[in-house]
Amino acid sequence: MTVEPSLLTRFEPLRMMAMEHLVELSSMSNIEPVAIGTDVLHIRRDGAKCVYLLKGDLRLAYQDGSEELLSAGTSPACHAIGSDRKPLIFATAISDVEVISVDSDMVDMVMTWEQVANCTMPELSEAELWPNRNKPRPINHAVPLGAIGLFGVNKLQGGAFSRLPSANIDELYKRMVSVQAKAGDVIIRQGEDADYYYLLESGSAVVSRVANDNEAPVMLATLNEGDAFGEEANVSDSKRNATVTMKTDGVLLKLRKQDFLELLKEPLLNTIGYEEAEQKVMQGAVWLDVRHASEFEFDHLQTAINLPLQDLRHRLNSLDRKTPYITYCLTGRRSSAAAFILSQHGFEVYTLQGGIGG
């Protein structure tokens, strides 16, 4: 049965998505009738799916022997069946039931994309709209060793590069390419595949996002000399979530995605298992849930604080730089993007392997 996009707005975290993404998601979703006495978990187990209760009542039985009733239209039914951390054995229909099944991996990818897209600085004025969208004009010469102020001693004493092995820094010099760009050049475009990670050596650029093809782009942030961009899509292996356009003439340093993953992502992302994470929490680390507030309120780890991914950049000052943080989400995709951002700003941060869903 066809799923209307507006129907998906009843459920968490789908209601947080842009309508254009709900339209795409609805085409990959199904409404399925479930007869009385049937366990709906077989639908969830049939591939990577989120299953939501649209109509009727379910009897939920948990591994600890407890049971509860789940009725459509209630607050608990706004969340996917079995999406909390309590192990669910079966969910039996005790009336005529209808459920909506949604591709869970697609939900997670879109949610990561959208939250990262909003992980920006204040909006710019309409006067700062760029004049054109020409392609960048690359000059493919290697970055000369020792020639870049971005990697001077003061830059390496703090932030992301301070924790890189010296061999990796040397390789960054060798593998980065210097690119001259003109005002108006589009460096990365929303919706395209990730290919490079960028550092702005000189000049400035603007970050924008289009929520709907019929609307003008919304200006989200200004990038200046020394700023990096393009990391989120590389870390989370998703599409570009925004467009970056040169505001002035400038020089960029770009690093291929595979080199970024090897030289930056791997050294800066510390992925740990749950038991090790618990030990760190006992020693003073803090759980950092980077999902939407509604997801956090439904189910979260004890003592965790909530700082949604899209708010991360402009709420960094609310975090204690002396405190280690362990980021988590449902699958690890959003929390990896968050951890990389925190690492770039000098925080000690770890990511829960596989997320709480794992």
- Decide: 212 and 317 in contact? Cβ < 8 Å: no
What pLDDT is stored for residue 2 in this prediction? 72
Q: Lowest-pLDDT range, 24-38, 45-59, 77-91, 229-243?
A: 229-243
Q: What is the mean pLDDT of residues 53-76?
A: 94
- Decide: 68 and 123 in contact? Cβ < 8 Å: no
**Region for residue 284 given its phi and psi (left: phi exceeds 0; alpha: psi -120 to 50; beta: otherwise):** left
User: Model confidence at 122, in pLDDT bands (50, 70, 90)?
Assistant: very low
Instruction: Give the span between the Cα atoms of 298 and 79, in whole angstroms.
Output: 8
- Decide: 37 and 95 in contact? Cβ < 8 Å: no
Question: Which domains occur in the chain, in start order?
Answer: 5-104 (2.60.120.10), 118-267 (2.60.120.10), 269-352 (3.40.250.10)
Residue 37 CB partners (closer than 8 Å, separation 6+)? 92, 93
Query: Is it the case that residue 131 has pLDDT exceeding 80?
Result: no
Is the pTM higher than 0.85? The answer reads no
Query: Is it the case that residue 133 has pLDDT exceeding 70?
Result: no
> 15-31 pLDDT, tens per residue?
888 887 788 888 888 89
- Decide: 313 and 341 in contact? Cβ < 8 Å: yes
User: Model confidence at 322, in pLDDT bands (50, 70, 90)?
Assistant: very high
Amino acid, single-letter form, for residue 215 = E
pLDDT, mean over the chain: 80
End-to-end distance of the chain based on CA atoms, in angstroms?
Answer: 31
What pLDDT is stored for residue 358 in this prediction? 67
Q: Quick one: how far is CA 298 from the chain centroid?
A: 19
Q: Quick one: how far is CA 221 from the chain centroid?
A: 18
Instruction: Give the span between the Cα atoms of 176 and 255, in whole angstroms.
Output: 5
Query: Is it the case that residue 113 has pLDDT exceeding 70?
Result: no
Token pair of 271 as six digits: 């992925």
Q: What is the mean pLDDT of residues 84-111?
A: 87
Q: How many CB atoms lie within 10 A of CB 46?
A: 10
Q: How many CB atoms lie within 10 A of CB 355?
A: 19
Query: Is it the case that residue 189 has pLDDT exceeding 50?
Result: yes
What pLDDT is stored for residue 121 in this prediction? 40
Query: Is it the case that residue 159 has pLDDT exceeding 60?
Result: no
Residue 28 CB partners (closer than 8 Å, separation 6+)? 102, 103, 106
What pLDDT is stored for residue 153 in this prediction? 34
Amino acid, single-letter form, for residue 94 = I
Q: Lowest-pLDDT range, 99-103, 164-168, 323-327?
A: 164-168
